[in-house]
Structure 1
Amino acid sequence: MTAWLAEQMAAHGGVGILAVVLLLPALEAALPVIGALLPGQTAVVLGGMLAWQGHVTVEAALLTALVGAVLGNLAGYAVGRRWKSRVLAPLQARAGRRRYTERALGLIERRGAGAVFVGRFTAVLRTLVPTLCGATRMPLRRYLLWSVVSSAVWAPAFVLIGYVIGPAGPG
């Protein structure tokens, strides 16, 4: 799947690569189902690998990943704020999801904005925390600050991981 995605990204040139590096992290946080199918972090690492290969600049991949992460976080927050009961009901309906949802809600209640930071680096939480922050009515200003801070650490970390392993990546 990863090799296929890298091939598709490279086949569409720099614009295609940057579109995927922007959209997958954004969709992952805005629509948790998408994140389960195609993790945004994978696209960001591939963006770094393709930057090493010269398809895009590393700076473009980094900036695009950052913007995608922040936009997705804001969209997820807005969804949670607007449709709290509709969002929480299916998440809590199944036992496996309920456990992750309760863990994420507990983290938000205990750690507040720090949960946004930790959530950005944890696969399941990365898809749930933005929506749950909106559902719990975390103040938008505080949420946005921590969303930008966490994304500003996450995006370079994973673009640069991809850049460093670029020589071994799909070509």
Structure 2
Amino acid sequence: MVMLESMGLPLPAESLLITSALFCATTHKLQIEGVIIAGVTGAIMGDNFGYLIGHELGLHMLGKHGNKVGLTSKRLLLGRYIFLRHGGSVVFFGRFIAILRMFVALLAGAIRMPWHTFLFYNALGGVFWAGGYTLCAYMLGNEILRLSGWIAIGFGVVACTVILALLIFFKRNEKRLTAEAMQAAQQDEQLKALLP
């Protein structure tokens, strides 16, 4: 399930990890190490499959249908520029935001983020996300049930605030950033292919 969610399907992988950790803590019928290894492996594999899907199909689909959802060729170039400059942070921190977690690998593949960079930050994010959530839930035991509601609300508020701030920043600076991307594309072979 973790792998499938990381590939882009809307599944409750986070809840599964927490539930599995609680099951380990209360019944001792599963080993927490196995749950952590399965979660981390599923997260990393799923994102790599998502990256491959995005790499093979994503750019063509975005080029063909992107205008329908506001993704013009200039915005695709800007997205590529951002992924080439800050893609590692996007991949790593995207792992901790539920909606972004489902799409970041597909976008990274579609935008043609270098695979070796994607793999490193994806693996790092998978270890911290799947391993961290599972281990924390295991250590907190039943206390996590009481705290999870407030923690989820807090993370949700922070995530929404960050996403809104980024959207406002990009909207206000889109022309300047696009001009930077166009200038960089003149010198960068990876970006040149996306010039309108």
**TM-score, normalised to structure 1's length?**
0.69
* 1:134 to 2:109 alignment: yes
Instruction: Give the equivalent residue in structure 2 for 1:123.
Output: 98
> Using the alignment, how far apart are the partners of 1:90 and 1:63 within structure 2?
38
2:133 maps to amino acid = F
Q: More deviation in 63-72 or 83-92?
A: 83-92
Instruction: Give the equivalent residue in structure 2 for 1:161.
Output: 136
* 1:67 to 2:41 alignment: yes
> Using the alignment, how far apart are the partners of 2:133 and 2:65 within structure 1?
31
| Deviation for aligned residue 1:41 | 1.1
Within 5 Å, give how 1:18-167 maps onto structure 2. Answer: 24-30=1-7, 32=8, 34-35=9-10, 38-53=11-26, 54-84=28-58, 85-86=60-61, 93=68, 105=79, 108=83, 111-167=86-142
Identity of aligned residues (%): 25
Specify whether residues 126 and 50 from structure 1 end up closer, same or farther in structure 2 by C-alpha distance, changes over 3 A only.
same
**Cα RMSD after superposing both structures:** 2.9
The alignment covers a number of residue pairs equal to: 138
> Using the alignment, how far apart are the partners of 1:88 and 1:52 within structure 2?
48
Check the 8 A contact 1:73/1:130 in 2, yes or no: yes
| Deviation for aligned residue 1:130 | 0.3
Instruction: Name the SS of the counterpart of 2:23 in structure 1.
Output: helix
| Deviation for aligned residue 1:167 | 3.0
> Using the alignment, how far apart are the partners of 1:51 and 1:88 within structure 2?
46
> Using the alignment, how far apart are the partners of 2:3 and 2:103 within structure 1?
13
| Deviation for aligned residue 1:45 | 1.1
| Deviation for aligned residue 1:86 | 2.9
| Deviation for aligned residue 1:47 | 1.5
Check the 8 A contact 1:25/1:69 in 2, yes or no: yes
> Using the alignment, how far apart are the partners of 2:139 and 2:17 within structure 1?
13
Specify whether residues 89 and 162 from structure 1 end up closer, same or farther in structure 2 by C-alpha distance, changes over 3 A only.
farther
* Post-superposition CA distance 1:39-88 (Å, at most 9, x none): 21111111211111212111111111000000000010001000013367
Check the 8 A contact 1:80/1:87 in 2, yes or no: no
Specify whether residues 29 and 88 from structure 1 end up closer, same or farther in structure 2 by C-alpha distance, changes over 3 A only.
farther
> Using the alignment, how far apart are the partners of 2:38 and 2:6 within structure 1?
15
2:96 maps to amino acid = F
> Using the alignment, how far apart are the partners of 1:91 and 1:123 within structure 2?
23
Structure 1 runs, 4 residues or longer, greater than 2 Å off: 85-95, 105-110, 164-169
Check the 8 A contact 1:121/1:154 in 2, yes or no: yes
For structure 2, which runs of at least 5 residues remain unmatched after alignment? 71-75, 146-196
**TM-score, normalised to structure 2's length?**
0.61
* Post-superposition CA distance 1:135-163 (Å, at most 9, x none): 01111111111111111111221102321
For structure 1, which runs of at least 5 residues remain unmatched after alignment? 1-23, 96-101
Check the 8 A contact 1:62/1:155 in 2, yes or no: yes
